[in-house]
Structure formats: structure tokens, C-alpha cells
Amino acid sequence: MVYIFYTKFSEKIRDDLLLTYKSWLPPQLVKKNSSFRFWEDQHRNLLGLLLLIKGLKKFGYSKEVLDKLVYDNYLRPSLKNIPLDFNISHSGDYVACAISKTNRVGIDVEIIQNIDFTGFKSVMSSCEWEIIKNSSTATHTFFEFWTIKESVIKADGRGMSLPLLDIEIFDEHVVCKNDKWYIYKLDFVENACAALATCSDTQIEVEFFNFYKIES
């Protein structure tokens, strides 16, 4: 089972709520949050951690477990000695967190924008590029492929050190460096593409949280 928790913010969260939320975090994470220059980036960082707290609660862990947050050589976060895997993504006003006890997970969310994506041809296979070019919704199709590849490299953990071109996309799974990943296209975000990658076939449960009020 993989749980996906997500939220959306459209304006600043009230100062009293922010103080409460930050009191749930260990000092080093509060310091890191304060290092972001813009309030939007502070919110994305904080909301990702709040969603992770929701995930920890789902598995019977308290928010104090965040003190065990560590990063590996590829800067992928994990919780030391806690048998859970998680991954966080944000784009625009959306923030999402995937968490599982049985799966390695990677999630990517991308707001669809009108961009010139021809510069990304080198990270797509010739077959993928033909599908994008011939699509009646080429921009959407490009972002679909992009989020799939991003979710895989995030699940794998080696990030952009893995060439995106090495990721072979099939109907319901992806192969990367001989490893098979299962892909789930997600539709909980409007005007966006989102994908989840897992190391085995699984069930998914999605839940929205509103952090403009404190929920139990």
C-alpha cells in the first residue's frame, strides 16, 4: 500500500498557525525552512513536512520521528532506523507526499505550462519523441513522460545522476538500469501531470489535507 497525501495553498497561512506548525518540527528543520527567501518556498517546504507527519501518523509514528531525518549521498531523504520510504514533490500551489512501508516510492507533480520543450528531445527516446510530436495535446504528453521519468529517478534515489534517456517507458511499467518500476498516473491535481513510481505492484490511497486550519 502507498498513501499519497496532498495539499494546496493559495495564500499565506495565518501566523499563529505557522507558529504552531513549526513547533512540531525539530530545530534544524525550522532553521532550514527559515532559510528560504520567499514565503511561497517556505510554505512548500513546510507543507511537505506536514504531509510527512500525516504519513507518519498513518503508520503509528509521532512527529518527533522527524528528528531522525537524514540525507544520503544523493541528497535523498529518509528516516534513520524507521522502516518507511517516502518522497515529496511540489509544483505551483500543490504539494504531495507519498509514503509506504512495503514499497520504494517516487512521486513527481508538474503544473502544465506552455513551454518550448524541444530542448528536452535528448532525454526522450525516438519512440517517445514521436509520440509527443504526433499528439494532439503535445505539451500534456510531454509532461506525462517527464513526470514518469522524474518519479522513477526519485524512487531509485540516484536522481539526475541517472540519464533520463536510459529510462524505458512501457504501458504500465518502466525499466531503468535493469530495474523494473511500476508507474501510476495520478489525476488529483488540476492542470497538471503527476506520476508515482513503486518497486512493486500496489494499491494507492489518496487524501487531501487543508492546512489553513488545524485538523485532528
pLDDT tens digits, 181-190: 999 999 998 8
Residue 22 inside a domain? The answer is yes
pLDDT in tens, 162-174: 888 889 898 778 9
pLDDT in tens, 118-149: 899 999 999 999 999 999 999 999 999 999 99
Residue 215 inside a domain? The answer is no
Residue 154 inside a domain? The answer is yes
Closest residue by Cα to residue 97 from 188, 15, 16: 188
Residue type, 115: I
Q: What is the CATH number of the domain that holds 161?
A: 3.90.470.20
With vertex at residue 145, the alpha carbon angle to CA 144 and CA 150, rounded to the nearest 5 degrees, is 100
Structural domain count, the chain:
1
| Rounded Cα–Cα distance for residues 143 and 175 (Å) | 19
Residue 214 inside a domain? The answer is no
Task: Label residue 216 by pLDDT band (50, 70, 90).
Answer: low
Residue 77 inside a domain? The answer is yes
Residue range of the domain that includes 30: 2-208
